[in-house]
Structure 1
Amino acid sequence: MNPYVVIGAGPMGLCTVRRLVEKGINVLGLEAHSDVGGLWDIDSTTSTMYQSAHLISSKRMTEFDDFPMSDDVATYPRHDELKHYFQSYATHFDLYRHFQFNCYVESVEPFNGQWKVSYRQNDAQHQVIAAGVLLANGTLHHPNIIDFPGHFEGEQMHSAQYKSADIFADKRVLIVGCGNSGCDIAVDAVHRAKHVDMVVRRGYYFLPKFIAGTPTDTLGGKIRLPNWLKQRVDGTLVRLISGKPSRFGLPDPDYKMYESHPVVNSLFLHHIGHGDITVRPNIERLTENGAYFSDGNQGEYDLILQATGYKLHYPFIDKQHLNWVGDAPQLYLNIFNPLHPNLYVMGMVEAAGLGWQGRDEQAKLVANVIRLQLNQDQAANRFLDKVKLKAGQRMDGGMRYLPLERMAYYVHKAEYLAALSREMQQLAQGA
């Protein structure tokens, strides 16, 4: 049998290969870098990691359940600790032998009901006919770059290119974007730059990483509150702990808690409160020496860094094969394709607290579905009928997520995990 090809050896690719192997499925993993780790290996040419990067969720809320991080790993591990974690995971589950490295996938095309995967390895071209393809190449690689009016003569870059605060030495810096990376980088910059301004275009909820010495994402009672009540309670607690953003010169969010991804950073508001970071509104246009802003003010800069996020990007396959509509593929459970029963998108999911275990639950379900398909079990056909019927349905738990590109594949953790579990049970029962 031709192999199932998994593209990517980050956390999603690793657990996907593991779960396929456990089901006795012939699998080939293709990774562009020379080792596993994906985004978290800063040495990879496809990594957008930077030297100061740490997890924004705590290790116990992020790790694989059956492969916990050691006690001597920090509560919010740095990127190099996570690189080692994934290397250890691959070794422990004997995954290296299923991967080929330094393989850049260039195209994935339909071929007689299967897929022709073309890739380049060490300047040699290769092709493999795959029984199925699982895309696990990540969602944080292709920068979303804004083309502002005007022209700036100084240095411009995206956070995808950022590695070290050395680039800020003695420069006037403007950072565009107030997400988690933007706030991390602004905190880096204040220690090296002449001054730091930040363009903040909308409101955010700001959370510290610890409350009373406990990781913030581990707090909460044992009784799960209704979503509307949790939004109200947690939103009130955030305002009590961090204060209203407008007290720091930032816009207040005009949406409820959890309707967009919060910023988790213990130092950002601290530096704004100390005058180390100046908040600016949206850029009206660039000038040779800086920028004009929407409030009529202007600033002069040596470096403008866009921390404006990333776009979903699967450059090796035509979007039509992914049932792509608007900002994202329209799939069932963000995984299963109504057009191609042997093409899967792995890890195209974001949710507060989902962690890598949530991705592993994806991998378990996909492995079960493929095994049933190979066994020509009628349960697989019934599942495919469900995929065609429900592709594109949002698992939002009733949340009104902001209409942002990065939120197009956001899900509500509890509802999503319950759906994965339900499908696993029904497949086991032959439903």
Structure 2
Amino acid sequence: MASALGRFDAAVLAGVVLVTTGAVLGNGVLFMSATVPFVYAVAATVSRPPPPSITVERSFDPAVVTPGQPTTVTLTVRNEGDRILPDVRVHDRPPEQVRVMGRPCGCLSLRPGETDTISYEVVAGDGEYDFGDPTARFRPLSAVESRTDRLAASGDETLRCRPLTTAPEIRAAADQRIGIRTADTPGSGLEFHSVREHRHGDAASRVDWRGFAKTGDMTTVNFRETNASETAVVVDARTPGRVVRAPGHPTAAEFAAHAAEQLVDRLLAADHRVGLAALGIDAEAVGATTPSDRAGRPWVPIGDDATTRTRTEAVLKAVIDAAAAERAAPQPAFAGSVRHRAEATNAAALRDRLPRASDVVLVSPLLDDAPLSLARTLSAAGHAVVVVSPNMADRARDATENGIGARVAGIQRDLRLRRLRSRDIRVVDWETTGPLSVAMEGSA
């Protein structure tokens, strides 16, 4: 839909007034002065901007991003007409839910067939975001009139923001993979256990062929067997984690939920038994029928069947929805987390649900002391505990919008990491701009 905003009518009106006044008063000067606005009006008519003759193509780089990762939006503008466009001002329409860094607009001058670009960056949380049609305003050299049109942009229209799907390798504090527990009995596996006499029916792959070549005696190699253990993933979605690094970024609790989702998927895909607990939401908030612990929080019993998968997906979706709702509402930036009162994790209610020999992966941004107490309590009870912590504080230290509060929160988080490691609890410090799998490997 186009709209013309010009000075043509004003020039004509001024000319008519001067002619009329000059004629009535017999003033030749006023009569002759009327030629100025009439010439101006004629010039405006001659130089009136042409109809739209440009095309706009939008592109995202990268096309699919992770929550909190900046993506570059580029508008490629091309003059498809045969006239010079000396003043073209293009303004894109990004969705309100994303944070815009830079200016989504630009002023261009295009010859026939010439192309120019406008670029800016946006940051979004988990989800899909539709961009509106950009607008373009045309003005001639005389600048006496302008024309504004909304243009249908080709190319990318929807920005898709999804968590990283790289399956992380999970190792316990004793450098064993969580979800796999080493047995003392010999059998098939990867780690050498012993050698025995060859028996009829032994697999050829387990024959010690090198020893046979040297001695002529055929022996069979035993490896240490590994058995699937039971693992509980605990995601910390309490209020202290429902803060953002900057407006438009995902909350710390959302990052924790995405990490928990990757860990659960990896373990279930490897045929391990998995359970899930969520701190900070009520079981009633979960869409599917889900059991709870004594504190009323969702608890998915350890298993590996379809029901386990359905329940874990429902709980994690409820966690992300709750955190995203607070991200969309007005709230303090990341620095606000230091002002939250610590919420208890109620370790006893969680311990009641955990099998005695189960491993625990606690996913928490560590923005208060409660997760430390939970990790120490579970470790003291004999559970192998790994803490996976999305690092929100470290990057916020350089953000002037967060100021001293962010610096204090970052220092406090560093101290919590050291306190956990001093208790021989393995900690994965995940910088959320990179894959979780890289962070897991780096902390092994």
The normalised TM-score by structure 2 is 0.25
Higher strand share: 2
- Greater RCO (Cα-Cα under 8 Å, separation 6 or more): 1
The normalised TM-score by structure 1 is 0.25
